[in-house]
Structure 1
Amino acid sequence: MSELANLVLACDKRLGDCRLSLNISLPLQGVVGIFGLSGSGKTSLINLIAGLIKPDAGRIEFQQQCFVDRQRKRWLAPEQRRIGYVFQDARLFPHYTVRGNLLYGHPTRADTPEKLARIVELLGIKSLLARHPNGLSGGERQRVAIGRALLSDPQLLLMDEPLASLDEPRKQELMPYLKALSSEFNLPIILVSHSLNEVLQLVDHLVLMDAGKVVQHGPLEQVWNSPAMQPWLGVTEQSVLLTAKVAEVTDDHGMLPLALANKADEGGKPLCLWSSCHREKEKGQVLQAGHDVRLKIRAADVAVSRVQPEQTSMRNILPVTLVSMTELADQQIEWLMAVGEQFIKARITAWAQQEMQLKAGESAYALIKGINVLGVSKKS
């Protein structure tokens, strides 16, 4: 098991018509997303970790601590695992105030007031402490539920679709708090979701499930860009994820340079894409030099040229190496192109391919019409 692979799931469980068959080691650093169709076994997987259900066979280990081993007849009760669990519905006690819900079942400890104050500040619920749950919005109730889980001093936090029951404005309200949790508390989080947007905004490591099995898992960019993920994206939303770092602003055009990892121009300078800083401010994100960001580029927003265009309004033009071509329906061609150690895709017509006679291994230029900056991960 690798140094970061702190959770081992090597077990089987039958639940009605679904049979979970797991054999993975997960690096619990940041947020691990569990993604798949309803009925694929996502919630059952985290219930196994929490001890809410027992596997029929196999073992589960966390940081070399045995949660369960059926062969050796070992079983650690749920209350002994130090796991926080946030459900789809907040499950607050209606007759308690927010403060009462936060402190319910919390053992008397010297650090409780300080930890409560820190959590209340992080989650923005100070003004809610004297209120009862029936007077809170859905997003506020979920923030209180998260606070209660954090006050239990967990070594791992499980979240079962915490945004699923919320409308879009409440989801956007809660998203920044979820983003801050793992880094603020140095706490690994396993997040179950069936929302591509939540995955893109929150997840560092993605586990893709289907019919009780793990189809693929790895860093989000790696899984998103893999063939296993493509059926989820649909024909018009085929895209890739890239990582970049906000570089120093050298002009006053209202654009931010985003330096691509492991890629430089002929002069040795980092190769940059450009994004509107004003657009990111509208999302509540103020991008600054040193921030690591994740970018999404749709294949439909990328064109290909054999020569570097001049006198064009397009600001994002990258030298690329053609890697492989895939023929699609409706006379469409998709090219996979390398930019250093990362990749982008371009969707062109079969007519254009026939005329240009593009071949794998050749150099070309990618003309990118649109970039979606998904979020800030940290400032180096």
Structure 2
Amino acid sequence: MLDVSLKHRFAGFDLDVAFAAPKGLTAIFGRSGAGKTSIINAVAGLLQTDYAQVTLDGVEISTLPTHLRNVGYVFQEARLFPHMTVQRNLKYGSWFRPKAGRDFDRVVALLGLEPLLARAPLHLSGGEKQRVAIGRALLSNPQILLMDEPLSALDSPRKAEILPYLERLRDEAGLPILYVSHALAEVARLATTMLVVEAGRLRRIGPTAEVLSDPSLANVLGLRAAGSLITARLVAQEDDGLSRLETAAGPVFLPRVAASLGALLRLRIPAQDVMIARQAPQDISALNVLPVRIEALRLGEGPGAILTLALGEERLLARITQRSVAALGLAVGQEVFAVLKSVALAQGDIGG
């Protein structure tokens, strides 16, 4: 467990946050300038704040100099040594902590680095460089891993390349990870816990699915990006190229999902891609129609409204117009149908 309490006054900006992050991947989400990087820099000791109390597994580290805090840090750019091979870059991570070198083979396998060991950084893609940077940080044998927008400099194909390795890192590394990002799809796919920061203040922290489905955060998360996270099990690969996944409210059909049958997946569903029907629709092209119950209805200051829909123990958000709310006579407690398009879910919104 990581416990953090920070206060710092910048020119025209005050940072004042306190939170506890459990094991797993805790994403610090917010818009540019919200204070995300300042938080992890303070945890690492790279930023000397007016007040800091940082405790890791019951030991206060905020009084220690940076080099004694035993944190691994992955920056936006890989920052590899250009004159060293991948293997030498990795082994540099354990230079000051030789015992960590015993984990070399495990880290190489975890991040799929075996084919890259003899290469120089010049001959690596952006995603490969970031995987090497993560491996180097892990081989310093840290108690916590800090990652500052590690995918922000990558294009979409390179992000798709590295995301499965980050999922594996989250599940198998066995140490807490603080992950800074302003990309909601990335956070939804990776984070077990989500921390939302706005103008230097903590707006919300909790399990990622709960935070994403909180309609009061829609403006902070971004109306176009707001959505929810549900779990689904892959149960069949259909002959027509679709995958059938089972959710708490019924089946969902998506373009072919590259996963093993039986795999439990996380689906991020943007609120703007959810339509509402009072009756089960007939003769429509949309394949995914889920029976749900309206749990909450929040009217916006403009023409929009956000509905919180219950499907079993999970929640789905829908963003529609207030005119539609009135025309359909929607109200809390009603049983309705959520209509999703199969093609609305991008492959980047599906994770393990």
Alignment of 1:160-239 (within 5 A): 160-232=148-220, 234-239=222-227
Question: Residue 259 of structure 2 is aligned with which of 286, 292, 306?
Answer: 286
SS of residue paired to 2:331: coil
Q: What amino acid is the match of 2:11?
A: G
Q: CA deviation at 1:191?
A: 0.9
Q: CA deviation at 1:122?
A: 2.6
Instruction: Verify the 8 A CA contact 2:111 2:131 in the aligned structure 1.
Output: yes
Aligned equivalent of 1:242: 230
Does residue 337 of the first structure (1) align with residue 309 of the second (2)? yes
Question: Residue 14 of structure 2 is aligned with which of 13, 19, 33?
Answer: 19
Distance 1:55 1:328, change over 3 A: closer
- Where relative contact order (Cα < 8 A, 6+ residues apart) is larger, the structure is 2
Distance 1:24 1:363, change over 3 A: same
SS of residue paired to 2:15: strand
SS of residue paired to 1:106: coil
Does residue 56 of the first structure (1) align with residue 50 of the second (2)? yes
CA distance in 1 between counterparts of 2:55 and 2:312 reads 38
With structure 2 as the length reference, what TM-score do the two structures score? 0.86
Aligned equivalent of 2:68: 80
Q: CA deviation at 1:46?
A: 0.6
Instruction: Verify the 8 A CA contact 1:257 1:272 in the aligned structure 2.
Output: no
Q: CA deviation at 1:192?
A: 0.9
Q: What amino acid is the match of 2:254?
A: S
Does residue 260 of the first structure (1) align with residue 254 of the second (2)? no
Q: CA deviation at 1:117?
A: 2.0
CA distance in 1 between counterparts of 2:274 and 2:335 reads 15
Question: Residue 46 of structure 1 is aligned with which of 40, 44, 49?
Answer: 40
Distance 1:57 1:131, change over 3 A: same
Instruction: Verify the 8 A CA contact 2:147 2:179 in the aligned structure 1.
Output: yes
Q: CA deviation at 1:249?
A: 4.3
- 1:216-266 C-alpha deviation (Å, 9 max, x unpaired): 1111111111134312555454422222333x44987765443335xxxxx
SS of residue paired to 2:83: coil
Instruction: Verify the 8 A CA contact 2:236 2:245 in the aligned structure 1.
Output: no
Q: How many residues align?
A: 348
Does residue 140 of the first structure (1) align with residue 128 of the second (2)? yes
- 1:102-153 C-alpha deviation (Å, 9 max, x unpaired): 11252474672x5222222332333332333233332222222111111111
Q: CA deviation at 1:300?
A: 3.8
CA distance in 2 between counterparts of 1:238 and 1:164 reads 19
Does residue 65 of the first structure (1) align with residue 96 of the second (2)? no
Aligned equivalent of 1:369: 341
CA distance in 2 between counterparts of 1:315 and 1:309 reads 10
Aligned equivalent of 1:264: none
CA distance in 1 between counterparts of 2:34 and 2:321 reads 36
CA distance in 1 between counterparts of 2:180 and 2:322 reads 40
Q: Where does structure 1 lack aligned partners over 5 or more consecutive residues?
A: 1-5, 69-74, 262-270
Instruction: Verify the 8 A CA contact 2:190 2:351 in the aligned structure 1.
Output: no
Q: What amino acid is the match of 2:5?
A: A
Question: Residue 95 of structure 2 is aligned with which of 103, 106, 112?
Answer: 106
CA distance in 1 between counterparts of 2:46 and 2:302 reads 49
Q: CA deviation at 1:346?
A: 3.8
Q: What amino acid is the match of 1:22?
A: V
- Structure with larger Rg: 1
CA distance in 1 between counterparts of 2:236 and 2:250 reads 11
Q: CA deviation at 1:49?
A: 1.0
Q: What amino acid is the match of 1:319?
A: P
SS of residue paired to 1:121: helix
Q: What amino acid is the match of 2:166?
A: L
Q: CA deviation at 1:326?
A: 3.7
- 1:29-49 C-alpha deviation (Å, 9 max, x unpaired): 221111112222111111111
Does residue 272 of the first structure (1) align with residue 250 of the second (2)? yes
Instruction: Verify the 8 A CA contact 1:98 1:129 in the aligned structure 2.
Output: yes
Instruction: Verify the 8 A CA contact 1:277 1:287 in the aligned structure 2.
Output: no
Q: What amino acid is the match of 1:60?
A: V
- Mean Cα deviation higher: 251-260 or 207-216: 251-260
Q: What amino acid is the match of 2:280?
A: Q
